[in-house]
Structure 1
Amino acid sequence: MYVIHLRYTGALAEIDDALDAHRLYLARQFDAGAFIIAGPKVPRDGGVILAAAMERDRLDAIIAQDPFSQQKLVHYDIIEFQATRLAPGLNLPQSP
């Protein structure tokens, strides 16, 4: 699995202009099973995405489709980890 930390590098007005396209991109990745959790940081200077386990090359290709990436509005820090514990009642997603 991956934690993807997005840090805005563009002006907030540019982020807002690309936000609808970014949300559509997120919806496609949730539907495909690639993303598990996503949301903005507080304060609003970026966001966080939790991605399912997959090959890193595949994740990089998915991130390249993000309008924020295509418009060079964010910097991504990507941390791969192995989930070994889960809160009761939650299910670990299977690799897509």
Structure 2
Amino acid sequence: MFIVNLTYKTQLEKIDQFLNAHIEFLNEQYESGNFLASGRKIPRTGGIILSNVASKSELEKIIKKDPFKKNELAHYEVIEFVPSKTCDELKFLMA
């Protein structure tokens, strides 16, 4: 499993110009089963994505499709971890 930590590299006005395209990208990844959760940081300096893709290289290929990445609006830190404990609703993640 992966945590993707996005940090904006530009003003929010520029981010907002690409927000709808970014949301479409997120929706595609949810439909594909690649993303589990996502949202803005508070304060709004970036966002977080939880992903269950099989490998870091696969996730990096997916990230390259994000309009924020394509337009160099955000820095992406990918953190891999192995969930050792989850709530009952997420037990499938450990399978």
Inter-partner Cα distance in structure 2 for 1:5 and 1:44:
12
Structure 2 equivalent of residue 14 of structure 1: 14
RMSD (Å) for aligned C-alpha atoms: 1.6
TM-score normalized by the length of structure 1 = 0.92
The equivalences for 1:2-41 within 5 A come to 2-41=2-41
Q: Is the 8 A contact 1:4 1:50 kept in 2?
A: yes
How many residue pairs get matched? 95
Number of the residue aligned with 2:79: 79
% identity of equivalent residues: 36
Runs of at least 5 residues in structure 1 that lack an aligned partner in the other structure? none
Say if 1:94 and 1:64 are closer, same or farther in 2 by CA, change over 3 A.
farther
Q: Which runs of 4+ in 1 moved over 6 A?
A: none
Residue 48 of structure 1 corresponds to 48
Counterpart residue identity of residue 59, structure 1: L
| TM-score, reference length from structure 2 | 0.93
Give distance in 2, aligned partners of 1:6 and 1:53: 17
